[in-house]
Structure 1
Amino acid sequence: MRTLPIREICLISGLISASFVSAQEEAPSSPWSGSAELGFIDTSGNTDTQSTNGAFDLKHDGQDWDQYLKLEALTSKEDDVTSKEKYYGEVGFDRNFGERSYLAITGTHERDRFSGFEYESVIAVGYGYRVIQQDNMNLSLEAAPGYRRDKLKETQKINEDSIARLDAKFDWLISEGVSFIEEFTAEIGDENSTYRSETGLKSTIIGALATKITYKIKYVEEVPDENENIDRELGITLVYSF
């Protein structure tokens, strides 16, 4: 099956998104916003590799409550053998106390076929504060007690742990159409701790279409035998924002 070159994909996506630009500019502002991402790499030769990664974000800004949903998927095959398969979901509810302070309620669930865990789930409820609120820059910090539950794939053993969840979200509009994104999360428990970092650079192509380069690191202190503590991902995707 023939795959389209990246240049052709960008051109087709740009033409599609351009048809919606004028309608979006005239539409009244909505409390809903979001984005959809898709990336695909296909290499052939001595080694045939196919990698697909995608993400979907949805956010609602209300007077008292803000909500968001994040979904991510990553699959990779080498010579028709699956080498990576991961799915991640996160949902959050923020109860605003004022312009800066809020109650942060967060739930996450991850299934990584090659991590040694059947699944990893976390729920946390705590305090959030918007340290910076500017037109071109935002920074929010969260601290929350929480609960972690995971299941080992080989033994089917279920582990439960009380944790402290710390989260920092930063975004910076460097220039028109170019933005920098950083999110760091720590889930610290007595039995195990997990640290995540996501760094991204987003550049607008035309209208609502952009390219995004993302580098992610996940570190787990205690992992099953023959599994690595550190997992790294580098992704290049096309992003459509709405």
Structure 2
Amino acid sequence: MLQKKYFWMNLVCFYFLFTLSFEIKAVFSDEIKMIDGNILEGEIGKVNEEAFSFRKEDGSEIDIQLKDVNFISKGNEIIIVNHSKEGLSILRLPKPENISIKNIDYTTTDTLILPGTEIESTEVADEETEQILEFTDDGQPSDTDKKVQSTSEQPSSVSAEEVVQTEEKEVIPPQRTWKGNVDAGMNIKDGNTESATTHIKGSYANIRSLDNIFFDALILYETVTDKATDEDVETANEQRATGKYEYKHTLRLYSFFNQYFEHDEIERLSYRSISSPGVGYRFIDKEHLKYKAEAGPAYTYERFHGGITDEYLGIRIGQYLDWRILDTITFYAKAEYVQSAENTSDWRVDSGLGVRHNLTKSIALSLELLDQYDNTPAEGAEKEDRTLIGSVGYSF
């Protein structure tokens, strides 16, 4: 009798868990297609003019900016977010059964293609009127939209196969999320003093919906000719590189891992490595103005000429500012502080600020001041090292 009781209890529990799994799956029925092609599944929460909260299937919650979204599938609707120079516009369509936004793409004819279904060929957005179309539950335009549509010819109902047969379409790829630039400069001086200075620097940034990837590098070389001996003397010979990964927990809060490398012959530094994970926060995150600060533990390893090494654990604090003053002019600044936990006098500050002016879409001029201060430099080296460089760059 007791075994029978346990059997029915287990059966009821199994039925409850089996039903609950379907209920949970039903709750997380919303789909988001980002401009970088990523597909997110979960539940849409609070919505405002610029962003909305989104609860993923694993239970974590993130904030998503509307400008990073192409399609939204919610309930019996498909919402298309159209991106234009004037801003964002939204088109809402009834969702056919068994259709996922994974199968939907834009075409050059601005026709929405829903595979295997009878669809209405509808313009995604009218750039002149920026009219936002609303659809009722039965799939018909609302009264407001009928007035707008009455002034233009009504499109005919066609199938996806007919669209493919009547015209050749080109699928528009997801919007590019990465950008970069390569800059170079050279200065030659002749007369009382002969010198030659060259530098190359580059940067890469990939800003995606869930994470960011950054990389930048600098090569600087300078020689001065000694008039007495007619020999070239190196006054600058250094290389720097930084790689960084950021994961967005919300629109403003993120975690990161930062890796820095440096080589400097003048400082007799074979190489310096600073590895630092941590947490950061975007205090200002607007199109024209961005400011963020971050902090975390840091591991520093240094090797100098002669086999001398130094390594220590400490903290790293960084802050970054990007200000687009005009459409073609950007001001940027950064400051990074690294402090040893073992020796309070062992610390360094790496800072820089610059201005970049875009002459064309691809060609730019930049002027940058770099400053490094090491409170415990190598023997014979100065504590502070300042460099002012001007560059002509190519943006891609």
Query: TM-score by structure 1 length?
Result: 0.85
Shift of 1:174: 1.0
Question: What letter matches 2:315 in structure 1?
Answer: A
Match 1:51 to one of 197, 205, 208:
197
Q: Quote the residue 1:5 is aligned against.
A: none
CA distance in 2 between partners of 1:224 and 1:197 (Å):
20
What is the one-letter code of the residue matched to 1:166?
A: I
The letter of the residue matching 1:178 is I
Could you tell me how far 1:35 is from its partner in structure 2? 0.8
Specify the alignment match of 1:22 in structure 2.
none
Cα distance, 1:39 vs. partner?
0.7
Task: Return the letter of the residue paired with 1:231.
Answer: D
The verdict on how the C-alpha distance between 1:216 and 1:27 changes in structure 2, with shifts beyond 3 A counting, is farther
Would you say 1:181 and 2:327 are equivalent positions? Answer: no
Q: Deviations over 1:147-203 (max 9, x none)?
A: 00001223x121110111111010111112111110000011134211011010111
Distance 1:64 1:207 in 2: 27
Q: Which runs of structure 1 show a deviation greater than 6 angstroms over 4 or more consecutive aligned residues?
A: none
1:25-75 CA-to-partner distances (Å, cap 9, x unmatched) read x99731111111101111111221110111111111222221111111000
Equivalent residue for 1:16? none
Q: Which residue of 2 aligns with 1:234?
A: 388
How far apart, in 2, do the equivalents of 1:194 and 1:217 lie? 11
2:191 corresponds to which letter in structure 1? G
Match of 2:316 among 165, 168, 174: 165
Query: In structure 1, how many angstroms separate the alpha carbons of the residues matched to 2:368 and 2:208?
Result: 29
Residue aligning to 2:97: none
Match of 2:188 among 42, 59, 62: 42
Partner of 1:68: 214
8 Å CA contact retained: 2:278, 2:297: yes
Structure with higher RCO (Cα < 8 A, 6+ apart): 1
CA distance in 2, matches of 1:221, 1:203: 34
1: CA distance between counterparts of 2:330 and 2:219?
23
Q: Does 1:137 align with 2:306?
A: no
Amino acid at match of 1:84: A
- In 2, the alpha carbon distance for the partners of 1:29 and 1:48 equals 49
The amino acid of 1:69's aligned partner reads F
- Other-structure match for 2:108: none
User: Could you tell me which of 229, 253, 261 is aligned with 1:101?
Assistant: 253
Bigger proportion of residues as strand: 1
Q: CA RMSD in A?
A: 1.5
Asked if the contact 1:116–1:223 (Cα under 8 Å) also holds between the matched residues in 2, the reply is no
Say if 2:276 and 2:298, in contact at 8 Å, map to a contact too. yes
CA distance in 1, matches of 2:200, 2:173: 28
Map 1:8-27 onto structure 2 (within 5 A). none
Once residues 356 and 278 of structure 2 are traced to their aligned partners in structure 1, the CA distance between those partners, rounded to angstroms, is 30
User: Alignment partner of 2:291: what SS?
Assistant: strand
Q: Is the CA contact 2:204–2:214 (under 8 Å) kept in the aligned structure 1? A: yes
Could you report, residue by residue, the CA deviation over 1:184-226 in whole angstroms, capped at 9, with x for unpaired residues?
0001113421101101011122222111110111000101221
Instruction: State the distance in 2 between where 1:78 and 1:101 align.
Output: 47
SS at match of 1:206: coil
CA distance in 1, matches of 2:214, 2:378: 32
Are 1:205 and 2:359 matched, yes or no? Answer: yes
Does the CA contact (< 8 Å) of 2:361 and 2:395 recur in 1?
Answer: no
1:219 partner letter: Y
For the Cα contact (< 8 Å) 2:185–2:198, is it kept in 1?
A: yes
List runs of 5+ in structure 2 lacking aligned partners.
1-171, 226-231
What is the alpha-carbon distance in structure 2 between the residues aligned to residue 61 and residue 113 of structure 1?
Answer: 35
Structure 1: distance between partners of 2:207 and 2:322? 17
Return the index of the structure with the highest Cα Rg: 2
Q: Specify the code of the residue in structure 2 equivalent to 1:163.
A: G
Residue 219 of structure 2 is aligned to residue 77 of structure 1:
no
Normalising by the residue count of structure 2, what TM-score does the alignment of the two structures yield?
A: 0.53
Distance across 2 between alignment mates of 1:222 and 1:164: 16
**CA–CA separation in structure 1 for the residues paired with 2:196 and 2:370:** 19
In structure 2, do the counterparts of structure 1 residues 65 and 135 end up closer, same or farther at CA, with 3 Å as the change threshold?
Answer: closer
Identical aligned pairs, as a percentage? 20
Aligned match for 2:305, one of 128, 153, 160? 153
